[in-house]
Amino acid sequence: MTTASKPAVLAITRNSDAHLAWMREHFDITVAVEPDFRQRTIEQHGARFRCVLTNGSEGLHADEITALPNLTLVCVQGTGYEKVDVAAARQRGITVTNGASSNAITVSDHAFALMFSLVRGIPMLDAFARQGGWRSQLQPLPIVSGRRLGLCGMGAIGQCIARRAAAFDMPVGYFSRNPKPDVPATHFSSVMALAAWAEVLIVALPGGMATHHLIGGDALRALGSKGYVINVGRGSVVDTVALVACLHASEIAGAGLDVYEGEPAFPAAFENCPNLLVTPHVGGWSQEALDNSVRMFIDNALRHFSGRPLTGVL
């Protein structure tokens, strides 16, 4: 297939040269990651593009959609799509998809890494041992197995986490908009009820107004002084001010965040905050997940341009 016969795709996400080479086997790819170049490319060549490849952080705005008259498909790499104007796309009849399952395994593994690190106090124990400390100077530590696990969100990531929890004999409850009868877990109709029941609360929800600060002071206090909260969804779901206040007041036992409000800037409120473990949004960052996201994009775009059913349609 010559470049002229390949569907033109505007890629506004960063991808490796190897991944771009995969894409170029099937599509005419234009990369426009820098904001100024992105704007100029859309203004000057918008009519060329039939597909846009983006992610939740880079998004795609309504005015950009208007400036792309031949756009028929928007593919989101990864799960989040909070900055993609899905409503504007739908109004134009443009299909929007995401790669919700592409990084589910990686994010789930990371959620468990944060949980074990928090509950078993791994960072503290590492520092303690390096200073010459020994177990006889410590109180016995809690374990993870058997703890009640509450999941905020039961999509691909939530279900992957739930499957891992079964191996550690953890009862699983979850909050989602709709119950999932095929999932062997207890559905809770509110976050408050779930938090009051859970001992570990893992947030795996997308961002946006519907979930903004869904986990606030009341939910954290319902979780209680022996409870842990972990966020691998979006930073905006957890109220930073409320979380920091609860940690300083020992109203929860600890928090593990892979995502946080205002990222990538590290919140000043996190400095000297006790029992807080933070990683720089690497929960879905593995070679396997990146490969999966590119393969899913290629497969979905090929399906779209050949008139076949798509996966992950929003």
Q: Is 199 a catalytic residue?
A: no
Q: Is 308 a catalytic residue?
A: no
- 123 three-state secondary structure: helix
Q: What token pair was written down for 133?
A: 């400390």
In whole angstroms, give the CA distance from residue 33 to residue 19. 15
**Neighbour count for residue 140 (Cβ, 10 Å):** 6
Phi, psi of 265 (to 5 degrees): -65, 135
Q: What token pair was written down for 207?
A: 């961002």
CB 237 within 8 A of CB 267: no
- 55 three-state secondary structure: strand
**Neighbour count for residue 106 (Cβ, 10 Å):** 22
| Catalytic residue (one of 38, 263, 295, 303) | 263
Q: Is 281 a catalytic residue?
A: yes
Beta bridge partners of 191: none
| Catalytic residue (one of 110, 147, 221, 234) | 234
CB 148 within 8 A of CB 233: no
| Catalytic residue (one of 212, 213, 281, 303) | 281
Catalytic residues: 234, 263, 281
